[in-house]
Structure 1
Amino acid sequence: MQNQNFDVIKSSGEKVKFSLRKLRNSLKRSGADDKAIEHILGVVRDELYQGISTREIYNRAFALLKKKKSVFASKYKLKKAIYELGPTGFPFERFVASILQYSGYQVEVGQIIQGMCVSHEVDVIARKSSDYLVIECKFHSEEGRNCNVKVPLYIHSRFRDIETHHKNNGEIIPNHGWVVTNTRFTKEAIQYGECAGLYLLSWDYPIENSLKDRIDRLGLYPITVSTLLTNREKQFLLSRNIVLAKQLIEQIFFLDHLGISEQRKQKIVNEIKMLCTA
């Protein structure tokens, strides 16, 4: 049976045809060389069966990458690592704020801003030169849940309320409303965002400047990509507002608080340094 005839089941329950091209592209993003990629593709291809889940394919590819080099596996698990920032949305808000901060913005998280009609709790405020961004973060801890058109509709109305208040009171007016999600926007949500002038940022949108593109380009990976830290250790670091791997390098003393041995500590540091410079 040809590879393209295999049905795979996505996390949403949707049935699609297996795509060797998509798997190859995701492996390339990990930084693995062509020889390693072709080897992994060959193994996965031989193990395909009708109705296999995308999770099973991911797990197999991840295990094979980890055998090659842990930093490859870390980059490959980026999407899953962002889900692991949950279950609450606050670490994701910190993560988005940190990405903007490393891009030169001054950021604030969880601020109350007065609108014309009511006050609003805004997830992230970011300022740089003439840019004044009001950002709402929509985090989903479960795969397969996308943001429909109701989300940008609601956020746009909040942005307009804040904008009107600032305009009427002679204050500096926010000039961009953003919605950021770790999943995807529906076609209608994107259509509304483009029409209303609302900036939408998701896992794969906009093309070439999506969340995954920005993370790879800036080397700003969430701490949850580590293949050496345990879930308990990751949660401890998140509770101390360490959301980026780069932040751990700058505040390595937190590993001492966890009672991690020097030998293991060095392995973790090496993994993260390779990740941030790869």
Structure 2
Amino acid sequence: MIKKSIQVKKSSGEKVDFSLDKLKASLHRSGAGENDVSHILNIVRDELYQGISTNEIYNRAFALLKKKKSVFASKYKLKKAIYEFGPTGFPFEKFIGQVLKHSGYDTEVGVLVDGKCVQHEVDVVASKENRTLYVECKFHGEEGRNCNVKVPLYIHARYRDIIAETKIKGALSTEGWVVTNTRFTKDAIEYGTCAGLTLLSWDYPKNNGLKDRIDSLGLYPITVSTLLTKREKNFLLGRDVVLCKQLLGDSFYLDHLGISETRKSKILKDIQFLCNVSG
């Protein structure tokens, strides 16, 4: 037990009380067993000090998980792995397109759509039956930056111009979406909800946020891999391989990278297990 409250510094600069329960929950989500989780918690808890950063706590827990099993570390680093889609954010748009595709939609990324007043480039257009989603992705390459109310305000204006044109053409059902890899501010959520936009962030809506959808669909980004180097990940992203599942089907890219058969087998086995963990 911690005798007194330990203050930790978040990436935003805010100081909050350290939560053992939150750390425990994140470790369990990695797939690690109770004994491994308890062992890691005891080590991290003993190394805490006043003002320690959440990033330092994360790095320590990540290193310990990686020693236990690389796939646990991969799941644990999910949030940070999405930041690795930067700096342009274009791989994030492709990733969201894949998430919607695996949810049953026909998707296109980077589509020019006519509005009533001007033409718009929409990050993702997703269609299912007579329903069309116009999805704008707001990617942040660093932690601590949230989407404020200006984002849904701007996107709502663009969406209204698009649907004004689609109504003329007799489209049946449309939705405007705003997706971010970070979080929405309270005002952004209030405005987006009031305006009828669908908001999707790392943890919003509750229990159906981006992290929940990734886990339930097993759609882990290629950047979660702890066995691939940064250069190798960038090579794959440059060839539109944004999901671990994609690499299982396009493993020949590992041959292009000159990866040995032994290492290739290990990488694919790790990814196969990762995708199967979440079904």
TM-score, normalised to structure 2, is 0.97
Q: 1:126 to 1:7 in 2, by over 3 A?
A: same
Q: Is 1:208 the counterpart of 2:207 in the alignment?
A: yes
The superposition leaves residues 80-113 of structure 1 with CA deviations (integer Å, 9 ceiling, x where unpaired) of: 0000011111000000000111111000010110
Deviation at 1:28, TM superposition (A): 1.1
Bigger Cα displacement from structure 2, 68-77 vs 1-10? 1-10
The superposition leaves residues 107-144 of structure 1 with CA deviations (integer Å, 9 ceiling, x where unpaired) of: 00101101111110000000012321000000000110
Runs (5+) with no aligned partner, structure 1 = none
Asked if the contact 1:163/1:173 (under 8 Å) is kept, the reply is no
Distance 1:179 1:3 in 2: 43
Distance 1:2 1:276 in 2: 36
Runs (5+) with no aligned partner, structure 2 = none
Alignment of 1:47-66 (within 5 A): 47-66=47-66
Asked if the contact 2:131/2:172 (under 8 Å) is kept, the reply is no
Distance 1:229 1:251 in 2: 15
Q: Is 1:251 the counterpart of 2:245 in the alignment?
A: no
1:125 — aligned with what? 125
Aligned residue type for 1:138: K
Distance 1:144 1:174 in 2: 35
Distance 2:111 2:150 in 1: 23
Aligned residue type for 1:216: D
Alignment of 1:19-168 (within 5 A): 19-168=19-168
Q: 1:48 to 1:154 in 2, by over 3 A?
A: same
SS, match of residue 254 in structure 1: helix
SS, match of residue 202 in structure 2: coil
SS, match of residue 5 in structure 1: coil
1:18 — aligned with what? 18
SS, match of residue 188 in structure 1: helix
Distance 1:165 1:174 in 2: 13
SS, match of residue 87 in structure 2: coil
Q: CA RMSD of the aligned region, Å?
A: 1.1
Asked if the contact 2:70/2:270 (under 8 Å) is kept, the reply is yes
May I ask how many residue pairs the two structures share in their alignment? 277
Deviation at 1:171, TM superposition (A): 3.5
Aligned residue type for 1:228: L
Q: 1:144 to 1:133 in 2, by over 3 A?
A: same
2:188 — aligned with what? 189
Q: 1:19 to 1:177 in 2, by over 3 A?
A: same
1:268 — aligned with what? 267
Distance 2:130 2:7 in 1: 49
Deviation at 1:174, TM superposition (A): 5.1
SS, match of residue 126 in structure 1: strand
Percentage of pairs with the same residue: 68
Distance 2:202 2:269 in 1: 27
Deviation at 1:38, TM superposition (A): 1.1
Distance 1:94 1:100 in 2: 10
Deviation at 1:218, TM superposition (A): 0.4
Distance 1:3 1:269 in 2: 45
Distance 2:216 2:254 in 1: 27
Asked if the contact 1:163/1:174 (under 8 Å) is kept, the reply is no
Asked if the contact 2:111/2:123 (under 8 Å) is kept, the reply is yes
Aligned residue type for 2:202: W
SS, match of residue 43 in structure 1: helix
